[in-house]
Amino acid sequence: NAGVTQTPKFRVLKTGQSMTLLCAQDMNHEYMYWYRQDPGMGLRLIHYSVGEGTTAKGEVPDGYNVSRLKKQNFLLGLESAAPSQTSVYFCASSWEGGTAYEQYFGPGTRLTVT
């Protein structure tokens, strides 16, 4: 049982390049989330999904797209990377069986855009 995994762990992009971050969970959780964390800041919600085939915008969605084609996977895409998207990205999943819908996080992807 790996929990939540993220691929890749590190990436350096040039401005204007595109990439996709992959999140996978093996806990059969219904809900999945993408957050970003910047230095000295808390985590901020980018997009989330309440089920396969659904997505919704969070607090900071601009410049990102997401897809949830399979229940266990949640993809985060950057179509044209900008230096402002340099950050650590965390994926999380949760389910309504938890007391507080507590979220389980992956180890993070550190992205640098030059």
Binding site for another protein (CB under 8 A): 4, 30-31, 33, 35, 40-45, 48, 50, 58-59, 90, 92, 94, 96, 99-108
Structure tokens at 11: 């990436």
Closest distance of CB 92 from another protein, Å: 8
Closest distance of CB 1 from another protein, Å: 15
Closest distance of CB 16 from another protein, Å: 28
- Sequence-distant (6+) residues with CB within 8 A of 46 are 34, 35, 36, 58, 59, 60, 61, 64, 66, 76, 89
Using the 8-state DSSP alphabet, how is residue 51 labeled? S
Q: Quote the CA–CA distance of 94 and 74 in Å, as a whole number.
A: 13
